[in-house]
Amino acid sequence: MANMNMVQALNSAMDIMLERDPRVVVLGEDIGYFGGVFRCTDGLQRKYGEHRVLDTPIAEGGIVAAAIGMGVNGLKPVAEIQFADYIYPAFDQIVSELARLRYRTAGEFSAPVTIRTPCGGGIRGGQTHSQSPEGVFTHVCGIKVVMPSNPYDAKGLLISSIEDEDPVVFFEPKRLYNGPFDGDPHKPAVPWSTHPKGAVPDGYYKVPLSKAEVVRPGKDVTVLAYGTMVHVAEAAVRLAQVDAEIVDVRALAPLDTDTLCSSVCKTGRCVIVHEATRFSGFGAELAATVQEECFWHLEAPIARVTGWDTPYPHAFEWEYFPGPARIAAALTRVMEDR
């Protein structure tokens, strides 16, 4: 067991998988000699050589396409897209090829590619370094989509993703790389060593790709959140002083409907939180699922707290970010509804 931040946990997952499985290769822009702009692959090329940890040209479409070809030829590629905001040149390869290869060849061909990509705001990145496009990918059949909220899950989920036979898009909330951020930029940064989920086993372990986790039990209202928003939701619950049950959705597709809905059926109320824009966001899928499964248990309309439906503005990062105050207001509102 060691204290790790999320960068170290992800690095450890790739290190272990490169060690355990000779088919694993890691590729991406600046990830080899340099170790990645966020340092997630630091030291891996030195340890495993430049044939297993590959720097690539600046061509996201090329990175994913090459990863597909490698996957078809028996490797297990772990591709990094430097920022989720830069994934779109690879969109055709992901949607039309990676996601459907197994289906269209009736199982004869498939590519077990993992695509890691940092997402989310809070670092003054403006509209091209802050997006949360998970909903764009959950809408595509044939790829799994996950977003961890802490180092322990990050490592266990990444190992599961690399071992999985299906392609996985693995979103890393970059604001959480160095500590559990609760949505209040006034406070000094808190390191992961202060958080129980910063304790990470040194060796191999897995967190399943299809299981949500109740991170705070409660009886009044269920909060469905993932990534950075899990920690922001915890702060909001303290602020609103409600006995909320917080579920870290973690696996977005396929979705752990049982864990989510049994919580809502128990509490009778539901607040959904994500940083991404609201309209057609992943929260819409969560709300629809909860409505279908829990309608007769609901005491109040389902509430969504999300980023506004605008690009992420550089100057108004914290007005845009769905912080604790907005979530707390929603919690108070659903508790008032009778």
Partner 1 sequence: MAQRSRLHVPHPPARPGDRPDFSYVSLSPAGAVPRPDARAPAREVENLGRELVRVLDEEGRAVGSWNPHLDPEELQVALRHMLLTRLLDERMQRMQRQGRISFYMKSTGEEAVSVAQGMALQPGDMLFPSYRNQGLFIVRGLSLVDLMCQCLSNTRDMCRGRQMPIMYHWGAGNIFSISGNLATQFPQAVGWAMAAALKGEDHIAAAWIGEGASAEADFHHGMTFAAVYQAPVILNIVNNQWAISTFQGFAGGERRNFAEYGPGYGIPGIRVDGNDFLAVYGVTRWAAERARQSGGPTLIEHVTYRAGAHSTSDDPTRYRPKEEGASWPLGDPIARLKQHLIGLGEWSDERHAALEKQLEAHVLACWKEAAGFGTLTEGPTLDPATMFEDVFHEMPPHLVRQREELKHLAAAQPAKGSEEEKSLERHSPAVAKEG
Among 289, 311, 332, 333, binds partner 1 (CB under 8 A): 311
C-alpha angle 89-92-98 in degrees, rounded to nearest 5: 115
Among 74, 315, 336, 338, binds partner 1 (CB under 8 A): 315
- Cβ contacts of residue 161 below 8 Å, gap of 6+? 114, 144, 146, 168, 170, 209
Q: State the minimum distance, in angstroms, from the CB of residue 224 to partner 1.
A: 20
Is 143 within 8 Å of 137 (Cβ atoms)? yes
Q: Is 192 in the site for partner 1 (CB under 8 A)?
A: no
Q: Is 128 in the site for partner 1 (CB under 8 A)?
A: yes
Residue 231 annotated in active site = no
Structure tokens at 277: 């824009």
Among 3, 23, 72, 88, binds partner 1 (CB under 8 A): 88
Q: Which stretch binds partner 1 (CB under 8 A): 11-19, 98-106, 179-187, 250-258?
A: 179-187
Q: Is 124 in the site for partner 1 (CB under 8 A)?
A: yes
In the complex with partner 1, which residue's Cβ is closer, 170 or 321? 321
Interface characters, 45-84, with partner 1 (x: CB under 8 A): -----xx--xxxxxxxxx-------------------xx-
Radius of gyration of the chain from its Cα atoms, rounded to whole angstroms: 19
Q: How many CB atoms lie under 10 A from the CB of residue 203?
A: 8
Q: State the minimum distance, in angstroms, from the CB of residue 282 to partner 1.
A: 17
Query: Among residue numbers 197 through 236, which ones bind partner 1 (CB under 8 A)?
Result: none
Q: Which amino acid is at 178?
A: N
Nearest-angstrom CA–CA distance, 217 and 20: 37
In the complex with partner 1, which residue's Cβ is closer, 16 or 18? 18
Q: Is 30 in the site for partner 1 (CB under 8 A)?
A: yes
> H-type helices in the chain, by residue range?
6-20, 44-48, 60-72, 91-92, 101-104, 134-138, 151-163, 228-240, 257-267, 282-294, 317-320, 324-336
Task: Tell the residue number behind the tokens 């005491």, with chain if given.
Answer: 299
List beta partners, residue 62.
Answer: none
Q: Is 243 in the site for partner 1 (CB under 8 A)?
A: no
Q: Which stretch binds partner 1 (CB under 8 A): 71-79, 132-140, 208-216, 310-318?
A: 310-318
Q: Is 308 in the site for partner 1 (CB under 8 A)?
A: yes
Task: Indicate left, alpha or beta for 186 from its phi (over 0: left) and psi (-120 to 50: alpha).
Answer: alpha
Chain contacts with partner 1 (rule: CB under 8 A): 29-30, 33-34, 37-38, 50-51, 54-62, 82-83, 85-86, 88-89, 122-129, 174-175, 185-189, 278-279, 308-311, 313-320, 325-326, 329
Residues acting as catalytic residues: 129
